[in-house]
Amino acid sequence: MLTAYIKGVVKPNQEIELGKNGKPKKPKTYTRKEFDMFLKDDSLPIELQEVYDTWKEDYKEPTYEDVPKEILYPYLAVDVILTQLLALKSLPIVKEREQMEVLKIENKIIPVVVRMAYWVRSGPTVSRGIRC
């Protein structure tokens, strides 16, 4: 979908430039690699930035709320069932190896690890105005 938007950089009322053969020149196209590179270093050409901004407004980042319940619930059920089966299979092995204390510690740090993983993906928040 983004490709269609990017190809739409030539606006309807824009004057069409002709080539040496008298035929209209094709507008500059960008590869996905070039586009991703522009996004990384914030050097996206203005005509692409406008198209990209419009595309982001029209196509918001999907969430689980966007998935129909008829599709989501079966996947959710399988995830819950498989997790439960894995726990039931693993628990006797953990007990046999006398690692219940390790399991308890690991269970306590799961929320911290999840927050750390999120922080790594999203980056730290910076509070301006705080002096160090």
pLDDT single digits (tens) 60-87: 788 888 889 999 999 899 999 999 999 9
More confident residue, 48 or 88: 88
Backbone angles phi, psi at 24, to 5 degrees: -60, 135
Residue 16 CB contacts under 8 Å (≥ 6 apart), including other chains: 10, 24, 25
More confident residue, 35 or 10: 35
Structure pTM? 0.40
Q: How far apart are CA 49 and CA 101, in angstroms?
A: 53
Q: How far apart are CA 67 and CA 87, in angstroms?
A: 28
Q: What are the boundaries of each domain within the chain? A: 2-58, 67-122
42-49 CB contacts, 8 Å cutoff, 24+ apart: 47/9, 48/6, 48/9
